[in-house]
């Protein structure tokens, strides 16, 4: 089979390279046993790029990301670079990539695996079987709107300003992603905003309704105020299928949903751009956790979130649904079988490190193949 799937791997900092090594193990297995062929390149981002080239996201990395069919990202940052001025922070690496590739829709699944149901802070019966997808707008809204800044008046009093701005095009394109996703799941979208007190929220609700009526009338749509959605997530989370939210509300709601699962080391994410005229779509996949400097270099990080991010990549960028599912099942079986990294350790289970966890996933894949 020809190597036609161009994959750019950006391991980044801290535990990034450690957990990425386990994805490489799975790729090797897939090439041998599933006859999959990937054209893989590796690049620098974050602190690693700052050390080598003096910038958090070199032009060469952006060019490689543009040329790739998909980007698999580790995580960036760490105490070594914490004292740098804001413009040189490692975290700007991911922001530049999102901006340059036009990655406007952040997809974050919050899934509670049965064997980890006790890791949630909520009662098992409230979260058992939980499977939510949060679609967060990620290039607009209050994190980017102008004017912004801190001004000082003549009397020396300071004012902090941020501006929530959304155009109808920005709302419509992310709404389409949410509706499209819902069709492949349980066919329901809950769109969140604060239409009661925000003008941008009024427009959000109107545009989502228009897109729904014109293009996705078969999908169930409900509107919910974002504060109520936060409350409902904590009390009755299983009512949700796909939650659609702005950049700000999505940031909060997706962290809340992640907390419901109780396991940061298990959660992947994807950020998608628009479909290009040639049919390609830029996309970047990354775990939701950071570079975990407190455990970096110890070989104890949980590689599952990075591995599951790769599964999302196979599904969304390469259309390899069967392989994606196989990897997700293999991870679940490893956890169900009692192997646990420190972050998901429970009484009676066997505590293992990053490499043992990765090897165990490959063993399960072998059984499933």
Known catalytic residues? Answer: 143, 194, 227, 251, 255
> Position of tokens 């990354």?
286
Could you give the C-alpha distances from 326 to 39, 184, 203, 366, in angstroms and in order? 21, 18, 41, 10
Residue 361 interacts with ligand NAD (CB under 6 A): yes or no: no
Under the binding rule (CB under 6 A), the answer on residue 264 touching ligand NAD is yes
Mask 87-126, x = binds ligand NAD (CB under 6 A)?
----x--x--------------------------------
Whole-number Å distance between alpha carbons of 148 and 129: 42
Report in angstroms how near the CB of residue 91 gets to ligand NAD at its nearest: 5
Q: How many positions of this chain bind ligand NAD (CB under 6 A)?
A: 22
Q: What are the beta bridge partners of residue 5?
A: 38
Does 11 help bind ligand NAD (rule: CB under 6 A)? no
For ligand NAD, the closer of residues 47 and 201 by Cβ is 47
Segment lying near ligand NAD (by CB under 6 A), choices 212-220, 236-244, 272-280, 285-293 = 285-293
76 binds ligand NAD (CB under 6 A): yes
The pair phi, psi for residue 59, each rounded to 5°, is: -55, -35
Q: Residue 345, Cβ neighbours under 10 Å: how many?
A: 14
Q: What string marks each residue from 172 to 211 as x (binds ligand NAD by CB under 6 A) or -? A: ----------------------------------------
**What are the residue ranges of helices labelled H in the chain?**
16-33, 47-53, 59-67, 92-101, 124-127, 168-183, 199-215, 226-235, 247-261, 304-316, 321-336, 354-368
The residue whose two tokens read 């939980």 is 130
301 makes contact with ligand NAD (CB under 6 A): yes
Chain contacts with ligand NAD (rule: CB under 6 A):
15, 75-78, 91, 94, 264-265, 286, 289-295, 301-302, 305, 341, 343
């Amino acid at each position: 089979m020809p190597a036609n799937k161009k994959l750019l791997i950006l391991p980044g900092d801290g535990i990034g390279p450690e957990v990425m090594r386990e994805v490489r193990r799975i790729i090797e297995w897939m090439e041998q046993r599933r006859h999959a062929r990937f054209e893989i390149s590796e690049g620098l981002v974050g602190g690693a790029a700052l050390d080598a080239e003096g910038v958090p996201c070199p032009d060469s990395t952006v060019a490689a990301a543009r040329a790739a069919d998909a980007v698999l990202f580790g995580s960036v940052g760490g105490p070594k670079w914490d004292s740098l001025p804001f413009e040189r922070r490692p975290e700007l690496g991911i922001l530049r990539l999102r901006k340059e590739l036009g990655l406007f829709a952040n997809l974050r699944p919050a899934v509670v695996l049965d064997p980890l149901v006790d890791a949630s802070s909520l009662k098992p019966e409230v979260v058992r079987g939980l499977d939510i997808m949060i679609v967060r707008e990620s290039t607009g809204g209050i994190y980017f709107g102008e004017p912004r800044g801190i001004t000082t008046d003549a009397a020396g009093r300071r004012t902090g300003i941020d501006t929530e701005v959304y155009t109808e095009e920005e709302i419509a394109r992310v709404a389409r992603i949410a509706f499209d996703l819902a069709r492949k799941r349980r066919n329901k979208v809950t769109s969140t905003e604060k239409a009661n007190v925000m003008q941008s929220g009024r427009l959000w609700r109107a545009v989502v309704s228009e897109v729904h009526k014109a293009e996705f009338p078969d999908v169930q749509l409900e509107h919910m105020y974002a504060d109520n959605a936060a409350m409902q997530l904590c009390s009755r989370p299983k009512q949700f299928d796909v939650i659609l939210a702005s950049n700000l509300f999505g940031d909060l709601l997706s962290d809340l949903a992640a907390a419901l699962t109780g396991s940061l080391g298990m959660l992947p994410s994807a950020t998608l751009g628009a479909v290009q005229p040639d049919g390609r779509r830029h996309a970047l996949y990354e775990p939701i956790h950071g570079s975990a400097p407190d455990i970096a270099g110890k070989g104890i990080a949980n590689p599952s979130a990075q591995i599951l991010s790769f599964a999302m990549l196979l599904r969304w960028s390469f259309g390899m649904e069967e392989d994606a599912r196989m990897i997700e099942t293999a991870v679940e079986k490893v956890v169900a079988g009692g192997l646990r990294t420190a972050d998901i350790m429970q009484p009676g289970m066997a505590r293992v490190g990053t490499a043992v966890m990765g090897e165990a996933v490959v063993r399960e894949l072998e059984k499933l193949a």
